[in-house]
Amino acid sequence: MVKPAYKYRRYANTLIFSDWGTTEAYYQKICSFLGASRAKSPVGGLNAVVLYGTLVMNLPGILIRILRGGQVSVLTKDIKSATWSFIRAHQVLSGSPDSIVVFSQHSVTCRALIWVAAAKEIRTVYLPHAPTANNVAYQDLPVHVAGLWSRKDREIYKSLGASGKMKVVGNPLIQYAPWRATGFARQRCKYIFAPSPYHKNELIRQIKWLKGFRLPMLHICLHPRMKKHEMAEIIGDHLQCPITFESERVASLSEPGDVIFSCSSGVALDALKNGSIVVDLTANGVRLNYYYLEDEIIVKLRDKSIGEVEQRIAGIRQNSAEYLQKTNVFFEDWMSYTGKESLLRIKSLLDTKEAAPDKLIYDRWNA
Q: Is residue 183 part of a domain?
A: no
Q: What is the pLDDT of residue 328?
A: 95
Tell me the C-alpha distance between 345 and 348, whole Å.
5
Average pLDDT on 7-32 reads 90
Same domain flag for 107 and 242: no
Report the pLDDT value the prediction gives residue 64, as an integer from 0 to 100. Answer: 56
Which residue in 273, 262, 259, 261 sits closest to 190, CA to CA? 259
Residue 74 has pLDDT above 80, yes or no: no
- Is 116 found in the same domain as 79? yes
133 and 221 in a single domain? The answer is no
Q: Which pLDDT belongs to residue 209?
A: 93
Q: Would the pLDDT of 354 be above 90?
A: no
pLDDT at position 126 over 90: yes
Q: Which of 3, 137, 141 is nearest to 73 (CA)?
A: 137
- Please give the pLDDT value at position 359: 86
CATH of the domain at 246: 3.40.50
Check whether residue 220 and residue 285 sit in a common domain.
Answer: yes
> pLDDT for 132-170, tens place per residue?
999 877 888 989 999 999 999 999 999 999 999 999 999
Q: In this structure, which amino acid lies at residue 22?
A: T
Give me the pLDDT at residue 76, please: 46
Tell whether 182 is covered by a domain.
no
Same domain, 168 and 201: no
The verdict on 157 and 200 lying in the same domain is no
Assess if residue 2 is contained within a domain. no
pLDDT reported for residue 99: 95
> When comparing pLDDT for 138 and 82, which is higher?
138
CA distance 312 to 85: 48
Tell me, what's the pLDDT at 59?
Answer: 58
Together in a domain, 329 and 351: no
DSSP secondary structure letters along 171-197: BTT--------SS-S-S---EEE---S
Statement to judge: residues 22 and 169 lie in one domain? yes
242 CB-near residues (< 8 Å, 6+ apart)? 216, 217, 218
Q: Are 220 and 193 in contact (CB under 8 A)?
A: yes
Which whole-number Å values give the CA distances from 47 to 50, 94, 114, in the listed order? 5, 11, 21
322 shares a domain with 202: yes
> In a 10 Å sphere around its CB, with 0-12 CB exposed, 13-18 middle and 19+ buried, how is residue 2 labelled?
exposed
Residue numbers of the domain that contains 299: 191-334
User: Based on the domain organization, do 345 and 314 belong to the same domain?
Assistant: no
Say whether both 89 and 106 belong to one domain.
yes
Work out how many domains the chain is built from and give that number. 2
Tell me which of 18-22, 143-147, 234-238, 294-298 is least confident. 18-22
Q: Is the residue at 179 inside a domain?
A: no
Q: How confident is the model at residue 181 (pLDDT cuts 50, 70, 90)?
A: confident
> How large is the average pLDDT for residues 222-229?
92
Residues 245, 249, 251, 252, CA torsion sign: negative
Band of residue 232 on the pLDDT scale cut at 50, 70, 90 = very high
Position 1 in a domain: no
Residue 235 lies in a domain: yes
Task: Report yes or no on 218 lying in a domain.
Answer: yes
| pLDDT for res 70 | 47
For residue 123, the model assigns a pLDDT of: 95
Residues 212 and 329 in one domain: yes
Asked if residue 39 is part of any domain, the answer here is yes
